[in-house]
Structure 1
């Protein structure tokens, strides 16, 4: 009789883990990141890893495994059996892409949401040379020139892509999507004026906003962000129903013993409460929102339902 692969993974993971949570970890930890070094997910991961290692009396090595819309890192974590691999999950991979492509793992079954880390709002930014100063100006221009404006994203299915689709839906505008391989090249072309607008994350664009290379028109969050207090929300600017943030959280293989998951949850939340960690995350636009593990799991499930509906409603596909 062939033993199901999932049962083999459970057995391997159980054998790899010490019997008691207090005996764990017994070796260095890997914290997987699905994007390149220097991006928002990477920044979140390193802010946590730098303090989590000492708290657990080991080292936490951030490992970037970019590709497949941030899902390669999730796939590695889901299939790991060493008991010492974690994932810095991001909304793109954990809530959006599962509704756009067939994955080599089960997003709901194989990974457990353990600790919510934070959320960074998307910001509507435009090329400095575009003759608009407000969201109303942009909407008028887009209506006057249907299909002639382009919006950049870090890839199909990203929060940047989804936010722009919601914006188009809310404003009745036709703006062309130009997907890139990551925020870096998208921002290069936005700054150069090759594309006109983007809904990039605050972590990626804050420096360019301060330097005047791009112009911020609104934040796609329920309230203004402390990092950009002068920039209105989209609702304040007259466009309601467009709220979009890239959220981040620590995941572990679902077979990880509950006691170990709880220990990681507790230690991550202690790290997030440290003043220097708070300052580090605030610098990239993240506000602390402590959640219990059960609350994080409920949030994860709700976000998956939300994006499943949105992807279907807007007929969003990977380019």
Structure 2
């Protein structure tokens, strides 16, 4: 996914500034008047969970309400989205989602909600490149060595993901298409569970988001072979891009966005837009996102909704071309 150009980002920030004014009025009207919850479609410890808890802490302080994070992993992150879509439209149930549930899963699963109609986009929180990682004890020290092993023994190596249809799954299939290789996909209910088997050698590799893999990379448990973005990640300056490693056409990034139940009153939506814009400007929040290998989101409201629609169509095409099926669910 290309990052928004400066003009578009500027317009989005102006919209967020306007939302900040109306958001203040919304709080004056008494919203939120009860505790909030942020639904997360992944297990504790993963990238989505980390960002959700960061937002919950900031929201709780500013809104002077309890804000809890509820993890509902499974079904390509759509269980949490389903809960949010069917929650009372009072602004008390939020969703921190990724392109897994909002743009990929709808083309693989029969859902009981429409992610484009039943969830109201609030804003883009962050964009993280996916990164190819292996255990630090793995014999593979480069993408070239890994591709050679996969070519020599098609289907012998395994790659983990946080679930069927996740960005990790899509990234693995994109890598296979770009290199003409084959590996066995092993889906988990979250990145943190997959990490255990990567470290233990049960699974060879993972095309994880930097937000969930960075801790393992820094601790020395993971070896990063390449980032799946156009440019190197600021926090991984010595790790080449896939193109630099000799593989073109395998760029995949994971984006994280905040949503609320569709039909939520406009004052509450505007207040959430304003609060997210405020939080994303905080130095410690920006440092945290950069520390996870990502870039801070700049799109709010309709600009973010438009990006979601574009991503929805882009992944519809990719799923069809790669012939990805929802097996294992």
Structure 1 counterpart of 2:245: 237
RMSD: 1.7
Residue 5 of structure 2 corresponds to none
> Aligned to 1:296, which of 304, 320, 327?
304
After superposition, the C-alpha distances for 1:112-162 in whole angstroms (9 at most, x for unaligned) are 111110022211012334433221222222112222221111221111110
1:54 and 2:51 are equivalent in the alignment: no
Whichever of the two has the greater Rg, that structure is: 1
Cα-to-partner distance string for 1:236-281 (whole Å, 9 max, x where unaligned): 2121221212211110122113332122112101101101111222
Answer yes or no: is 1:115 the counterpart of 2:123.
Answer: yes
Give the match's secondary structure for 2:296: coil
Question: Relative CO higher for 1 or 2, CA cutoff 8 Å, sep ≥ 6?
Answer: 2
TM value normalised by structure 2: 0.86
> Equivalent residues in 2 for 1:178-257 (5 A)?
178-257=186-265
Unpaired segments of 5 or more residues in structure 2? 1-24
Q: Does the alignment pair 1:21 with 2:26? A: yes
Q: Does the 8 Å contact 2:60/2:66 carry over to 1? A: yes
Which residue of 139, 151, 157 corresponds with 1:149?
A: 157
- Give how far 1:29 is off: 1.4
Q: Name the structure 1 match of 2:173.
A: 165
Q: What SS does the aligned partner of 2:76 have?
A: coil
Matches within 5 A, 1:48-87: 48-81=55-88, 83=90, 84-87=92-95
C-alpha change, 1:54 and 1:214, in structure 2 (3 Å) is: closer
- 2: CA distance between counterparts of 1:31 and 1:294? 21
Residue 311 of structure 1 corresponds to 319
Do the aligned residues in 2 keep the contact of 1:48 with 1:272 (CA within 8 Å)?
no
SS in 1 for 2:88: coil
**Secondary structure of residue in 2 paired with 1:234:** coil
Equivalent residue for 1:131, pick from 139, 148, 152: 139
What is the CA distance between 1:50 and its match in structure 2?
0.9
The 3-state SS of whatever aligns with 1:198 is strand
Larger CA deviation: 131-140 vs 190-199: 131-140
Aligned partner of 1:140 among 136, 140, 148: 148
**More divergent stretch after superposition (252-261 vs 39-48):** 252-261
Check the 8 A contact 2:41/2:72 in 1, yes or no: yes
**Contact 2:43 2:191 (C-alpha < 8 Å) held by counterparts:** no
> 2:42 matched to 1:35?
yes
Equivalent of 2:51 in 44, 51, 55: 44
- Measured in 1, the distance between the counterparts of 2:228 and 2:46 equals 19
Distance apart, 1:69 and its partner CA: 2.2
Which runs of no fewer than 5 residues in structure 1 stay unpaired?
1-19
Partner SS, residue 243 of structure 1: coil
Tell me how far apart the structure 2 counterparts of residues 304 and 31 of structure 1 sit (CA, whole Å): 23
Residue aligned with 2:225, SS = strand
Offset, 1:82: 5.1
